[in-house]
């Protein structure tokens, strides 16, 4: 017998040609109006420009060059015209100068009015406005942002500029590619993650930058720029607050932001007396200071002005010696840009050993006295040492 082929069932499935999905429509390019200008709002105390202003000019110069625009700077105060040249030497193309007796001391409302009224008079808004995340900057920035109808990202540790592709269909009116978007990056979740915050919908895009984070440019006395006097039209409502007195606490020793060597102590010191040893070690280096972790500040072993970390100061010395500090992320964010980090801790599994350049596992009260003795023997007397011996 031979098998006879059976006819196919009428409803049998047969392979079909693959269906090519329709090509997605390309996203439109959305250019929000701006004059491609990066604006820095300078900060000074009694006519002395603060370090964060030079840091902002450093990152501002980079952003302006990438944007293909200019870098300008607001300078408000009284009898401060000579400081305008310092801003130009530090990277500014133009300085907007408001020199008036009522601006000698910082007050929120007069400063806000001068800045925002001048910007509102421009044909196109600036692309970016930056301030320091200092006491003054944190007070002034939200006022300026609200008046200009734009967003604000606070306490940034990284800033960049580039295109952003918005594909979230929850905002159908915003779908598109935004060139020249400010990438404002700041720590989040207790400094354990970085959040990238974008707001290209309106210009200016605004941010405040954490002091001690960005590197200033080397001053160039040959740089040329323009100084423009701007109008000052203060109103009676701007003087609701009067400054009666400024109490400026003078800290002992070197400002940690300027110190080339920092010796920091943590809870592993056991008591406040341990900071006497920290001071003795710091004295072995010129231009040095004593820092601390948050925990020892909280228990009152050392003043807040010595605190380094998320809620303290951000520093970048040539040499950072951490004694009895575990290295939690909250402390690390304030000092991990130091050129050389030496950790001394009797706990070999302490997190600080993961990012320190050199580590010593041992008791601080055995290691540090020996280190001091070796420095004294090698260099004579500690206070006369001109350069850090361990860098």
Q: Give strand pairing partners of 128.
A: 38, 205
Q: Are 129 and 206 spatial neighbours (Cβ–Cβ below 8 Å)?
A: yes
- CA 261 – CA 340 distance, rounded (Å): 10
In the prediction, which pLDDT does 385 show?
A: 39
250 pLDDT band, cuts 50/70/90, is: low
pLDDT tens digits, one per residue of 152-174: 999 999 999 999 999 888 888 88
Q: Give strand pairing partners of 302.
A: none
In the prediction, which pLDDT does 254 show?
A: 67
Q: Are 103 and 111 spatial neighbours (Cβ–Cβ below 8 Å)?
A: yes
Q: What is the pTM of this model?
A: 0.77
pLDDT tens digits, one per residue of 169-184: 888 888 999 999 999 9
- CA 238 – CA 235 distance, rounded (Å): 5
Please state, as a whole number, how many other Cβ atoms lie within 10 Å of the Cβ of residue 118: 17
Please state, as a whole number, how many other Cβ atoms lie within 10 Å of the Cβ of residue 263: 29
Residue 13 pLDDT > 80 = no
- Does domain 261-384 bear CATH number 3.40.50.1220? yes
CATH superfamily, with its number, for domain 37-239:
HUPs (3.40.50.620)
Q: Which residue matches tokens 């401060």?
A: 80
| Residue boundaries of the structural domains of the chain | 37-239, 261-384
Residue 15 pLDDT > 80 = no
Q: Are 153 and 231 spatial neighbours (Cβ–Cβ below 8 Å)?
A: no
One-character DSSP codes across 291-336: EE-HHHHHTTSS-GGGBBSTTSB----SEEEEES----HHHHTTTT
Return the ∠ at Cα 235 (arms to 232 and 238), rounded to 5°: 100
pLDDT tens digits, one per residue of 86-130: 999 999 999 999 999 999 999 999 999 999 999 999 999 999 999
Does 37-239 match 261-384 in CATH topology?
A: yes
In the prediction, which pLDDT does 386 show?
A: 41
Across residues 349-374, what is the average pLDDT?
A: 95
pLDDT tens digits, one per residue of 253-288: 568 888 999 999 999 999 999 999 999 999 999 899
The DSSP element (H or E) to which 85 belongs, if any, is: helix 83-89
Q: Which residue matches tokens 């500029």?
A: 161
Residue 375 pLDDT > 60 = yes
Q: Which two tokens stand for residue 336?
A: 């991990």
- CA 355 – CA 327 distance, rounded (Å): 9
40 pLDDT band, cuts 50/70/90, is: very high
Across residues 197-204, what is the average pLDDT?
A: 93
């Amino acid at each position: 017998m031979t098998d006879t082929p059976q006819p196919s069932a009428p409803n049998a499935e047969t392979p079909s040609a693959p269906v090519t999905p329709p090509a997605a429509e390309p996203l439109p390019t959305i250019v929000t109006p701006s004059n491609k200008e990066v604006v820095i709002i300078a900060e000074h105390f009694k006519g002395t420009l603060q370090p964060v202003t030079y840091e902002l000019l450093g990152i501002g110069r980079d952003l302006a060059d990438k944007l293909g625009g200019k870098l300008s700077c607001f300078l408000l105060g009284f009898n401060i015209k000579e400081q305008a040249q310092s801003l130009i030497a530090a990277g500014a193309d133009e300085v907007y100068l408001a020199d008036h007796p009522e601006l000698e001391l910082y007050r929120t409302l007069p400063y806000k009015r001068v800045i925002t009224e001048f910007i509102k008079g421009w044909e196109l808004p600036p692309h970016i406005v930056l301030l320091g995340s200092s006491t003054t900057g944190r007070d002034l920035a939200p006022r300026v942002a609200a008046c200009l109808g734009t967003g604000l990202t606070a306490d940034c540790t990284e800033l960049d500029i580039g295109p952003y592709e918005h594909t979230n269909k929850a905002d159908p009116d915003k779908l598109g590619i935004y060139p020249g978007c400010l990438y404002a990056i700041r720590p989040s979740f207790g400094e354990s993650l970085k959040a990238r915050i974008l707001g290209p919908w309106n210009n200016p895009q605004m941010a405040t930058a954490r002091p001690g984070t960005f590197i200033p440019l080397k001053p160039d006395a040959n740089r040329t720029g323009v100084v423009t006097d701007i109008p000052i039209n203060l109103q009676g409502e701007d003087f609701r607050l009067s400054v009666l007195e400024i109490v400026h606490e003078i800290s002992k020793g070197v400002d940690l932001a300027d110190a080339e060597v920092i010796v920091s102590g943590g809870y592993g010191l056991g008591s406040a007396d341990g900071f006497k040893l920290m001071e003795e070690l710091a004295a072995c280096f010129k231009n040095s200071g004593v820092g601390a972790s948050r925990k020892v500040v909280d228990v009152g072993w050392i003043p807040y002005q010595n605190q380094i970390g998320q809620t303290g100061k951000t520093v970048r010395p040539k040499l950072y010696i951490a004694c009895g500090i575990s290295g939690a992320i909250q402390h690390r964010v304030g000092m991990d840009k130091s050129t050389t980090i030496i950790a001394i801790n009797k706990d070999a599994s302490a997190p600080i050993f993961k990012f320190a350049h050199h580590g010593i596992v041992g008791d601080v009260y055995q290691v540090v006295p020996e280190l001091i003795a070796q420095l004294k023997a090698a260099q004579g007397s500690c206070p006369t040492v001109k350069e850090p011996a361990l860098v």
